[in-house]
Amino acid sequence: MKILITGVAGFIGFHLARRLITLGYQIIGIDNLNNYYDIKLKKSRLALLIELGLKFHKVDISKKKSLDKFLKNSDFDIIIHLAAQAGVRYSIENPDVYIESNIFGFFNILEACRQNNIKHFIYASSSSVYGGNLDYPFDETQTTDKPQNLYAASKKSNEIMSFSYSQLYKIPSTGLRFFTVYGPWGRPDMAYFKFVKNIFNNMPIQIYGHGKMYRDFTYIDDVIEGIIKILQKGPPKIKTNNIYDQDDILNANLAPWEIFNIGNNKVVSIEEFINVIEKAIGIKVTRNYINKQMGDMYLTSANIDKIQSHVGYRPQTSINEGIPKFVKWFKNYYKIS
């Protein structure tokens, strides 16, 4: 089975590719290696993957001609689409990048699926699509049409676009709503990464929302297990051929399309999260409390009943286990004694 992973030099892409290669899958990866964060980190991830046998190509998914040229002689069975411009706060300052990568780029990948008869299209969505919904834990049946920032809007657009292509062209598509993924080799723009970095540099940390914000922190290994279980289960199927099926007024059952939450199923306050970081490092940090930033969600909380029922997904790693693993990696990578 030949699998294309987009965004392979990214945090989740790196971990997924590494695991799939060790399981014997033939993995080809693409990435544009942009400078949104430290490109040295991306190249370090990539070097490890190439050493394992990854076939890598530098491709920007937002450039359709470049993508089409790469795909011209390909014969992928599955595309796992993880390439995207990430970051809620960055979307406030640089909205154009999100349209280019997350909308145009996603469209180009959908077209690639259509033209290359892809057997299963798996793509990254986000818990941010739930917006300001306080009816938690969030489940996949809830309304997600009020995103609080452009990043969330782009991910919601991806879900709608994939449904359209799935229904029109019967492309089996699975969207995965990730909930605050953290762990070794993570993204430097993420709060936990910044907290750890500041502590080791004897600098105070800024805590948005005065510490009264809550997240469903999900360790990277659990996320990867969830993706692999979805992959191995196989593509979704059309549930009915009856166009007058009243179970779903949008006739979603006519499309081989699914959405799943991938979370830890446990909500943790930012204050508690920082306490665990301090304990793992053994250093207390000065905390500067500031107002919630525009576009930030107050809370994320995953109902994982659907993916548990579908593939037996069960997260194994608490923050008390996951944070020390990240701190150990951080010290080793940045050579901190």
pLDDT tens digits along 91-124: 888 889 999 999 999 999 999 999 999 999 999 9
In a domain, 141, yes or no: yes
pLDDT tens digits along 226-249: 999 999 999 999 876 555 554 544
d(CA 38, CA 57): 19
In a domain, 333, yes or no: no
Q: Could you tell me the residue range of the domain that residue 136 belongs to?
A: 2-179+217-264+303-315
In a domain, 49, yes or no: yes
Could you tell me which of 77, 78, 83, 27 has the C-alpha nearest to residue 52?
27
In a domain, 30, yes or no: yes
**Residue 244: what pLDDT?**
52
How many structural domains does the chain have?
Answer: 1
Q: Which of the residues are catalytic? A: 151
**Residue 249: what pLDDT?**
43
Kindly write down the DSSP assignment for every residue of 33-90, as one continuous string.
Answer: --SSS-HHHHHHHHHHHHHHT-EEEE--TT-HHHHHHHHTT---SEEEE------HHH
pLDDT tens digits along 265-292: 899 999 999 999 999 999 999 999 988 7
d(CA 109, CA 116): 10
Residues of the chain where predicted confidence (pLDDT) is lower than 70? 240-253
With 0-12 CB in 10 A as exposed, 13-18 as middle and 19+ as buried, what is 278? middle
d(CA 179, CA 263): 5
In a domain, 291, yes or no: no
Question: What is the token pair recorded at 122?
Answer: 């798996």
User: If you average pLDDT over every residue of the chain, what do you get?
Assistant: 93
Q: What is the pTM of this model?
A: 0.94
The tokens 């080799």 sit on which residue?
185
In a domain, 321, yes or no: no
In a domain, 198, yes or no: no
Beta strand 78-81 with 2-6: parallel, antiparallel or unpaired?
parallel
d(CA 17, CA 38): 20
With 0-12 CB in 10 A as exposed, 13-18 as middle and 19+ as buried, what is 211? middle
- The sign of the CA dihedral 77, 109, 68, 80 is negative
d(CA 223, CA 124): 11
8 Å CB contact between 257 and 166 = yes
In a domain, 224, yes or no: yes
CATH of the domain at 157: 3.40.50.720
Question: What is the token pair recorded at 161?
Answer: 């676009």
